[in-house]
């Protein structure tokens, strides 16, 4: 029996750094909104449920993603809080849940599948990692054998941890049976007072659950925060399609 699969797409970001009035995920990529690229990929995988997390003023995004469900993140209280906004929409769902950032639009179905396959090896969470040319200020994935021990934010990393090459793309796959129990336990005792999705790893491990990692291609998991980064993603996408 194959597990059912749901995807939660985080699409509440504003297009401020894109210098646009459009919501970030509505910025055009290869002739269609960024978020449409993600949905097209998920449709090829015959995903059972898609839920898009939007901002209160995200009518344009909610309209774009129809007939799929959308939910509203009332206040921007962090990535963990954003995923929790989808809890009611996924009530009763206990399959696999992919958490996808709306500004990571060119991840392939093969890479998503690789993460899902890894999840079935007994993990509660699998994080999509990558090794960039310049690790810069990315969060690091600290491994212990085949298990992910923790995600260390760059600003909190020791020199030894900063030397780790494997970085966090943001995208994660959860076992739906334990996902919301984990997310409900994330605290906000940090400088920003936000609930970070990355803290899910520490919570899962404190519950005796295992976390894993797959390594994806750095170009594929690249995000787009600026128009320059968006143009770069488009060049990667067109090169992949041989155009």
Q: Supply the residues annotated as catalytic.
A: 17
State whether residue 94 is helix, strand or coil. Answer: coil
Query: Do the beta carbons of residue 174 and residue 187 sit within 8 Å?
Result: no
User: 212 forms bridges with which residues in the sheet?
Assistant: 126
Question: CB neighbours of 48 closer than 8 A, spacing ≥ 6?
Answer: 4, 5, 6, 95
Q: How many CB atoms lie within 10 A of CB 200?
A: 27
Question: CB neighbours of 219 closer than 8 A, spacing ≥ 6?
Answer: 236
Q: b/e for 32-71, b at 16 or more Cβ within 10 A?
A: ebbbbbbbebbeeeebebbbbbbbeebeebbebbeebbbb
At which residue do the structure tokens 């990571």 appear? 104
């Amino acid at each position: 029996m194959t597990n059912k699969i749901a995807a939660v797409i985080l699409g509440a970001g504003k297009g401020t750094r894109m210098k646009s009035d459009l919501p970030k995920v509505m910025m055009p990529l290869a002739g269609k909104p960024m978020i449409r690229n993600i949905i097209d990929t998920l449709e090829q995988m015959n995903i059972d449920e898609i839920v898009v997390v939007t901002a209160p003023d995200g009518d344009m995004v909610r309209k774009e993603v129809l007939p799929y469900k959308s939910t509203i993140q009332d206040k921007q209280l962090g990535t963990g809080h954003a995923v929790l906004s989808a809890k009611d929409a996924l009530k009763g769902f206990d399959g696999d849940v992919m958490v996808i950032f709306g500004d990571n639009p060119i991840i392939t179905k093969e890479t998503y599948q690789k993460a899902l396959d890894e999840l079935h090896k007994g993990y509660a969470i699998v994080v999509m990692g990558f090794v960039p040319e310049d690790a810069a200020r990315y969060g690091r994935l600290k491994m212990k054998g085949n298990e992910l021990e923790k995600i260390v934010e760059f600003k909190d990393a020791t020199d030894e941890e900063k030397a780790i090459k494997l970085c966090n793309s943001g995208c994660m796959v959860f076992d739906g049976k334990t996902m919301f129990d984990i997310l409900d336990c994330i605290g906000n005792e940090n400088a920003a007072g936000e609930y970070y999705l990355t803290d899910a790893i520490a919570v899962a491990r404190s519950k005796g659950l295992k976390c894993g990692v797959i390594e994806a291609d750095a170009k594929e998991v690249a995000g787009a925060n600026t128009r320059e980064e968006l143009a770069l993603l488009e060049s990667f996408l067109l090169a992949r399609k041989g155009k």
